[in-house]
Structures are given as C-alpha cells and as structure tokens.
Amino acid sequence: MGGIAAIARTLGHQVSGSDQNVYPPMSDQLAQLGIEIHSGYDVSPLQNEALDEVIVGNVMTRGMAATEYMLENSTKYSSGPQWLGEQVLRYKKVFAVAGTHGKTTTSSMLAWILEDNNINPGFLIGGVCQHFPQSARVTESEAFVLEADEYDSAFFDKRSKFVHYHSDVVVLNNLEFDHADIFKDLEAIKTQFHHLVRTIPQNGQIIVNGDDKNLQAVLKQGCWTPVVSFGTDDNSAYWLKTHANNPRQFSIHDHSGVLAEINWNITGKHNQLNALAAILAARQAGVSIDAAAQSIAKFQNVKRRMELIGEVKGISIYDDFAHHPTAIETTLAGLKAVSKGRTIAVLELRSNSMRDGAHAADLPQALSGSDQAYVMIYPGMGWDAEIKQQLNDRFVVLDSIENLLQRLQNDLRLNDNVVFMSNGSFDDAPRRLLQCLSG
C-alpha cells in the first residue's frame, strides 16, 4: 500500500494514508514524497470534502469505524490491486513475480537487471532494493515489474491480488501452504494461482520452478501460455549448479551446455534460483542471458534480506524477513554455508499463520540448521501446550524483547552470526542488540 501511495503521488494526485504501524524504510519514503500518514483507523481522514477516492487495503474489515463511514457516505473506493491494474498496469508490459517465497527478492533482481540494461522499468516491490531510492515508481518504459501477491485484495474482494494485474510475463517461484487466516488449505491457494494462469495471454510467458510439484499441479489444470521451466537439475529447461568449493559461485545451464557463470555476494541456493528466474524473465524484455548474468553479479540484496546490521566484538548481526518454515530453513542453510562461527537464529512468530500455530509443527525442522535458536512466543498467542513444550525442549523460548536481549548478551560469543527473522519490525531488536553489545 505504501508503494501504491507513492505511485499515486508520482502521477500527480494528492495522497494521504492511514495505518496502525508504519516503520522504516517505508515511513521514510512516504515522508520524502510528502505523503501524510495518519496513525490509526478512525474516520477523521475521510472527513475531507476534497476526497475523491479511497484505496482500501486488506487490513480493513467490516465493523471498523473508517470502513463503515466510507460505506455509509457512498465514497468511491477500490482495492489497491484493482486501482493499480486499471490506472497503471493495463498500459504496460507487466512482469509479475508470484510464489510463497522470494517474491520481493526476485522482483528486485529483475528490476535491477532491466535497469542495468537501460530499460528504465517501472516497478512495485514490497521491500527496498538497494539499487533504487524507492520501492515503487512509474516510468515512460513499457516494462513494469511487480511483486504479485496471493493474499486477498480487500474485504469486498476475496480474490488474490495478482488476478488484477494484467500480467504478460509471470514467474511462478514456488507454492506452499501459507496465509492460514484466509486460505483453508493448499488446494485453495492452488485455485488462486490457477486464476492467475487464466489471465496470462498466449503471447506472454510463464517461467516456472520445475522442481515444485505444486506448481506443476496448477499448470495441469489448464495452461494457454508458453512455459519455460527452471530448477536444480536437467529435468528443467534451464538449471543451475553451485560451485563445489565456493557456495557464492554458480553456473547456468541448458541442454546445449553452460550459458553463464556468476560469482556474487548473496548467500543461499534459494537466491540462486531467484536469480535464474529473474534472468529468464529479463529475456522477454530483450536482455540476453549473458548480459543479465553480468548484471546479477552486481546485485545488492534487498533491505531486510540477510541485511548485515553490524559487527561488534566479533559478532555479526543480520536482519531478515523470513517467516515461513521453508524460508527460515533455507536462510539458515545459506548463512551456515559461508560463515565460520555458530549460526544463531532469533525468530519472531509474527505472521498470522505463525501466530495461529499453522506452521508450529514444522518449526523444529526449520530451525534445525542453527547452532542455537531463540523463539519469541508472546503472551496470548494461544499455542498448543505440547508444541510449546517441544520448542522449549530444543530451543530457548522467550516472551519479551527485554528478556531476549538480556539472554543474547549473556549467551553470545566470538564469531557468532546472529540472524533475526520476522516479517514485522521486531521492535527494532537487531539494532537494539547491536547497541547493547557496543555498550
């Protein structure tokens, strides 16, 4: 929603917005654009005679004061995805990145490849790519790169956001069960992904992770668009191999041989797959695999994706957005492959699915790659006592940031690599730890 606000402002509209919690880097971006942020969801921002339209985010529900006021006063409204699709995307060639994991990183990679090859794309990304001063922009270029989310559009439109986007080139990165607050099961998510597939034209392209059986099942429901597969072996049309002696070096292959070699600073095979998907998508904008590979080698990761916050007393502190068991596991594996000391995981269970316990049984496996793990289970989360006990037997379970910071200061030692994982602000815990250790 912050990115949509930025785009609306760029198009010349006067824009303001309401949210419960806005924190950097998005709050800084909005302030720089002169977008006023109102804290909370009361009706006062809607009591403006100059108001032309309300763009409704999916956090809004029936019964909230602002929602009821908007409906009672017949205010013009639309969802964010609907507004974006109608006002911007229908005039563009849309490159959409969908999947349970890696949407922000892959769309950032694709936007950077196009930028580095003088295509000047527009984009809307749910994070801050370090190659750009903002997470959203509109340009004169035909190309528009989009992070295509499967979450629902609004309280009045329960379709996934990505069906509104008029996508031409779609990356399908992976598909697992998530968002337990809106999806009953995995089949419900597959249905929404197939709705996306139904919107892609015959002159477009689908770039699909050939290793993912759930995505293969989606395409078997019906597909009317050319498909290109990528993966980790020659069962896909394009695949990658990680260098045996250097986990940060990998090569891209097809059945004719090696197409490119890449040496970069990003950790994890999951990010190598993200890069391969972005490279293949860039071909649809006229960028060769070789040129795209040269660009991706220079890629600087997205903020809060294994972002190094600082090093103090021989301890490295990272901030990461991982919040699904698979993402947690692959993030820890990527860090462990390139680091010398212990890998320390600090996990905040903040997403709706996590707080509801939908992934509770998978957490021990997800955290198994760490040498020590700290799990935040706040009071009132209502988790099953047996699951809590299983976590307590293997990891350190805490219920407040203050207790966490104190425990970490006591436990950490030289060469430790500490990665904080949350899809929220985590009460700025990574930076607070850095300050504590510096003191």
Taken in order of first residue, the domains within the chain and their CATH numbers are: 2-75 (3.40.50.720), 82-296 (3.40.1190.10), 307-438 (3.90.190.20)
**According to the model, what pLDDT value does residue 16 have?**
94
Residue-averaged pLDDT of the chain: 89
**According to the model, what pLDDT value does residue 354 have?**
58
Assessment of whether the complete model's pTM goes beyond 0.85: no
Mean pLDDT of 359-371: 78
Decide if pLDDT at 357 tops 60: no
Between CA 103 and CA 172 the distance in angstroms is: 9
Mean pLDDT of 395-401: 85
Q: Which two tokens stand for residue 304?
A: 């809060």
**According to the model, what pLDDT value does residue 222 have?**
97
Between CA 77 and CA 65 the distance in angstroms is: 15
Mean pLDDT of 144-169: 94
At 358, the pLDDT band (50, 70, 90 cuts) reads low
Between CA 282 and CA 60 the distance in angstroms is: 36
Tell me: the pLDDT tens digits for 90-100?
Answer: 999 999 999 98
At 343, the pLDDT band (50, 70, 90 cuts) reads very high
Share of the chain above pLDDT 90, in %: 60
Tell me: the pLDDT tens digits for 269-314?
Answer: 889 999 999 999 999 999 999 999 999 999 987 767 778 888 888 8
Instruction: Give the residues across from 124 on adjacent strands.
Output: 136, 146
Q: Which two tokens stand for residue 319?
A: 């901030």
- The more confidently predicted of residues 217 and 363 is 217
At 266, the pLDDT band (50, 70, 90 cuts) reads confident
Cβ proximity of 126 and 149 under 8 Å: yes
| Least confident window among 257-266, 324-333, 409-418 | 324-333
Between CA 361 and CA 390 the distance in angstroms is: 9
Tell me: the pLDDT tens digits for 183-193?
Answer: 788 899 999 99
Tell me: the pLDDT tens digits for 10-67?
Answer: 999 999 999 987 777 778 888 889 999 999 999 999 999 899 999 999 899 999 999 9
**According to the model, what pLDDT value does residue 225 have?**
98
Which helix (H) or strand (E) element contains residue 347? strand 343-348
**According to the model, what pLDDT value does residue 213 have?**
95
